[in-house]
């Protein structure tokens, strides 16, 4: 039995559709498709703010809704992905049927906080964090 609306897989920070030749959501899209679901994978900035990634996801969803003639989408997001999903759900609730978070960083990331404490303010990685 398939879902009423298409499923959109949304990657996290530093995510791409493929990492070293392996799909980010390895096997998940295929398994869902075998069960009869329409599955699409969004491609967002690997490094950017939640707002920017949310806007990118909304652009993806608009195109998807137009192409599929669906009224809504179901999101499955991993890591930072659910934050972009929640951005779309909050700003365009009539277009979102559900948001499923897989290990979402809904309360921040302890490792990111630790990293920010130990990195020098003038380091290249810290510059990237501040810029994007």
- The residue with greater pLDDT, 23 or 61, is 61
Give Cα 28 distance to the centre of its chain: 15
The CATH architecture of the domain made up of 7-107 is 3-Layer(aba) Sandwich (3.40)
**How confident is the prediction for the chain on average, in pLDDT?**
85
- The residue with greater pLDDT, 120 or 44, is 44
Q: Which of 15-29, 37-51, 66-80, 118-132 has the highest mean pLDDT?
A: 66-80
- What pTM does this model have? 0.78
Quote the percentage of the chain above a pLDDT of 70. 77
Q: Which of 20, 80, 94 is nearest to 52 (CA)?
A: 80
- Yes or no: say if 83 and 104 are a contact pair by the CB < 8 Å rule: yes
Structure tokens given for 120: 């020098």
What is the structure's pLDDT at 26? 85
Strands (E), the chain: 7-10, 18-19, 22-23, 39-42, 73-78, 96-102
What is the structure's pLDDT at 132? 46
What is the structure's pLDDT at 96? 98
What is the structure's pLDDT at 120? 65
Contact residues for 114 (Cβ-Cβ < 8 A; gap 6+): none
Strand, helix or coil for residue 106: strand
Rounded to whole angstroms, the Cα distance separating 121 from 123 reads 6
Residue spans of the domains in the chain: they are: 7-107
């Amino acid at each position: 039995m398939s879902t009423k609306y298409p499923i959109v897989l949304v990657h996290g920070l530093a995510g791409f559709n493929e990492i070293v030749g392996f799909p980010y959501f390895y096997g998940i899209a295929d398994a869902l498709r075998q069960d009869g679901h329409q599955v699409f994978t969004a491609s967002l900035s690997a490094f950017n703010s939640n707002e920017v990634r949310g806007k990118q996801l909304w652009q993806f969803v608009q195109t998807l809704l137009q192409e599929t003639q669906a009224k809504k989408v179901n999101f499955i997001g991993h890591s930072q992905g659910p934050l972009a999903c929640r951005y779309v759900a909050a700003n365009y609730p009539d277009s979102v049927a559900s948001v499923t978070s897989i290990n979402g960083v809904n309360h921040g990331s302890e490792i990111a906080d630790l990293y920010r404490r130990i990195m020098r303010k003038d380091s290249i990685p810290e510059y990237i964090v501040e810029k994007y």
